[in-house]
Amino acid sequence: MKQRTSTLLAVAALTAAFAAHAQQPAKKTAPPAKAAAPAKSAITEEFEKFREVLEEDNPAELFEAKGEDIWKNRKGPDGGSMAQCDLGLGAGVVKGAYVQMPRWFADAGQVMDAERRVVHCMMKYLGYKEADIRKQPFSNVNKTPDHVSVITYVAAQSRNMKIAAPQKHPKEKEAYNVGKEIFAFRGGPYDFSCATCHGADGMRIRTQDLPNLRKPDQAIRAYQGWPGYRMTGGFMLTQQWRMNDCFRQQRFPEPSYLSDSVTALLAYMTVTANGQVYKGPGIKR
Amino acid sequence: MADPMKIRAQMKGDVADIRVLMSHAMETGQRKDGAGNTVPAHFIQSITVDVGGKRVLQGQTGPAVSRNPVFGFKVKGAKAGDKVVINWVDNKGDKRTDEATIG
């Protein structure tokens, strides 16, 4: 029997090919911008094709599997497990919980975003130490911390569900309003605010189109990206990391991990994206 | 112990479309850590794929392949229900074998 095989792709090769392409001048001229929706540049279109190919085989799945294992099998020193963790829909319920945070958690007396809640539970039930988590809150090339894998798993359990961050509790409303305020707050050596780059349609940094986070259909683009697998380096990064990096890019002081201000910004972004469909952990170049 | 692979195997017409995600650091041996010491090379060296008990792919890979690599290939002559067994061995002798069934 004749069998033919062909090796299709290695991610590294694709990445390199794309980088080369991005440096060439755009072949197609962009169609004239319509008043309502800003025209997509040829580069953005190429980007989207590239992302589509990779979404099918997103290595985020490897971290999802690790997170699932911790969620289901890990035991704390007192015999606790994540089955006791309430993500807002009842103890141990993961399905759909991610797209319904940030929300008010009475047991903690705080509005918490998904990452904050997951870390809270891992400390409470699995015996993780706050000091250890703060030592390395975000992934780097050497290590992806356990809580990042768990967040990836939790996020993946809301794949293809509608974002529905609650706004019933007064504290949830407060978080949204504080976030909205921070979004527009100008400061730092460049006199930047989040809104400088993300407050109007059609903004970009070099070739990167930036979403206008005041609009639902664009806020989803930012929401969708994180947690995401970053191919440069090969690790998972979370929404908290992204927000931290926004602070850095604005030359603001670095927020402490899981701070109220970041939760407020996430509340503002998520509530703005309410009603949009979340497609699961992202992939970034 | 290495982390499990993720294997997807699906019939597309009369050809089996197999995709595998491997969890591996794939260190090139060129990178230096924070202290300036070279991070030793650590990469998958050989890959084999058996479908329905028959060897269909044998590959040698090196440090040019990305971290957490994805491989995709198409196999003629396979049918739904066939067992796919994928194995890799790295340069430190660490290995991993995972199985899936073509759907």
Chain B positions in Cβ-Cβ contact with residue A12 (cut-off 8 Å): 64-66, 69
State whether A10 and B70 contact (CB < 8 Å).
Answer: yes
Chain A positions in Cβ-Cβ contact with residue B77 (cut-off 8 Å): 1-3
**How many Å apart are CA A97 and CA A114, to the nearest integer?**
8
CB-based contact, A73 to chain B, within 8 Å? no
State whether B76 and A10 contact (CB < 8 Å).
Answer: no
Whole-number pLDDT of residue B98: 94
Q: What is the pTM for the complete model shown?
A: 0.81
The pair of three-digit structure tokens given for residue A36, joined into one six-digit string: 């309502």
Sheet holding A235-237, edge to edge: A235-237, A228-230, A282-284
Whole-number pLDDT of residue A164: 94
Q: Mean pLDDT, consecutive 10-residue segments, chain A of 285 residues?
A: 42 40 44 47 75 79 92 90 92 93 94 95 93 91 90 94 95 95 92 92 85 92 90 89 92 92 95 92 85
Q: Which domains does chain B have, with CATH numbers?
A: 6-101 (2.60.40.10)
User: Is A85 part of the annotated catalytic residue set?
Assistant: no
pLDDT tens digits, one per residue of A37-87: 455 677 777 777 777 777 778 889 899 999 999 999 999 888 899 999 999
Domain segments of chain A: what residues?
Answer: 41-285
The pair of three-digit structure tokens given for residue A112, joined into one six-digit string: 């918490």
State whether A65 and B19 contact (CB < 8 Å).
Answer: no
How are the residues of chain A apportioned to helix, strand and coil, as percentages rounded to the nearest 5? Answer: 45, 10, 45
Residue type, A137: P
Chain A positions in Cβ-Cβ contact with residue B21 (cut-off 8 Å): 57, 59, 61-62
**How many Å apart are CA A25 and CA A115, to the nearest integer?**
40
Whole-number pLDDT of residue A40: 62
Percent of chain B with pLDDT over 90: 78
- What superfamily in CATH does domain A41-285 come from? Cytochrome c-like domain (1.10.760.10)
Min Cα separation B69/chain A (Å): 6
pLDDT tens digits, one per residue of A174-204: 999 999 999 999 998 999 999 999 999 988 8
Whole-number pLDDT of residue A283: 87
